[in-house]
Amino acid sequence: METGLVETLREAEVLLKRLDNLEKFNRKYSVRPTRESVSLVESMQVLSDSIPEIGTPTSHEELIQTELKRRIHGEASFLEQQLSGRPYEFGTVINILGIPEEDLASLRPWLEANKTKTQESIERLFHSRDLEGYELAVSSDIPNVRMQVEAFSDVHIQRYHKTIGKFLESLTSIGKFLRDINAVPTTNDRSYFNQLTNNLAISVPKICFSKEDGTHHINEKELIMIYGHEGMGHALNFVVTRSANMPYFLTQLSTLNVATAESVAQFYENQLLEDLKNSRATQKKLGIESIFDEIYQETKDTNQLDEYQKKMIYYAICVLGDKSLGDYNNPETLKNKIEIINQVAIDKGGLANWMQQKRYSFDSEGNLEAGLVSELRYCANPVTRAIEEFKRCGINYVGDGRTLMDTTMLRGLWTPIGFVDNARLQAMSHAAQR
């Protein structure tokens, strides 16, 4: 790596660590020190301007340069926006966060293409099983019950962790990194991965339930989804990145790359389900062979519904923020926007109520509130585009191709654009060596 780039990366590390300290202070005191914040913005802008502008990177060093420039510029702009209090237009927020326009443009076509499919999933879910009427939340507020369900859940968590770990090692070399992760139960309502302890904490309230006779049971579907998302996605992303000697800025989670991390986690959540479908032996080891077909169909239907609901909200944000549709204060404008959204909505009443609630989420210049617009970063879908880059080079998600793609997707915390650029270069390099 060129000396100049090495020095730039060191300077970026210093600035990002200053930003981290600033955000820690803000989380504790709910305020940012003005002079330090302004100084940091100016320093990041100077560094960003010093990095050459490169259109499409054609080498690893150009890739690092373009991603670093994108990251530092974005961090500076985002912090400046939070400090200024100025109105920010929809497009400005999109640019600051680096949300690919193609992902926004794809929302309505996806909703149109998937509306009927989602309605079928809803009907199937309704008719395929009893609703959770006899699945009761565990009484974890009672100490002895909490101890019982934690121990009960831990047995299942350990079996999944060991079984899936060995199974993945047979599919991809990335599987060996699961050995560095400790799977443990947590009473938290959300599962998470702790980078400091390497603990993959799986939520007991999410995976364990009681029946009316007082017996405890595991929601196998939920455990599979959590393990795929948090374990194979987020946990492996951090562990593989940490082992790869990446530049500092590619190892730190940020508002600018969290969408990519979520896209990666969602991919592995879905992939684990497909891997288990193709391995009856692993289903048997997990004790779910007899019910796996039911788990599989319910998970696919649930994921279809969840994806539709998320994209519906993202599309609604885009419609709300579209100034070309009229004055936000005009009731007829809101009515028109609701009609546009209802063309692809399933739950029309729910979406209309949501739109009504957000009618005050505009600034004095008619811009949709920046925090709401920033939710659109989660509609980025870089994994799908990255996989297409590999396919163009004749690389498929099997054997050595899977290991290459897993390594590429899990190594580094990239912005959506940088993630796809990295995949393209990795695919081209691998294809050239064959």
305 and 125 Cβ atoms separated by less than 8 Å? yes
pLDDT of residue 131: 52
8 Å CB contact between 221 and 210: no
Map out the domains of the chain as residue ranges. 1-86, 132-247+269-287
For the chain, list residues with pLDDT below 50: none
d(CA 110, CA 114): 6
> Which pLDDT belongs to residue 96?
87
Whether the model clears a pTM of 0.75, i.e. scores above it, the answer is yes
What per-residue confidence (pLDDT) applies to 138?
86
pLDDT of residue 414: 98
Nearest residue to 154 via CA among 183, 189, 197, 181: 183
* Cβ density class 317-351: b for 16+ within 10 Å, e for less: bbbbbebeeeebeeeebbeebbebbeebbbeeeeb
CA pair distance 384, 380, nearest whole angstrom: 10
> Which segments of 195-303 are extended strands (E)?
199-203, 208-210, 216-218
Centroid of chain to Cα 203:
18
Confidence (pLDDT) at 134: 62
Check residue 139 and give its pLDDT: 81
Return the pLDDT at 130. 58
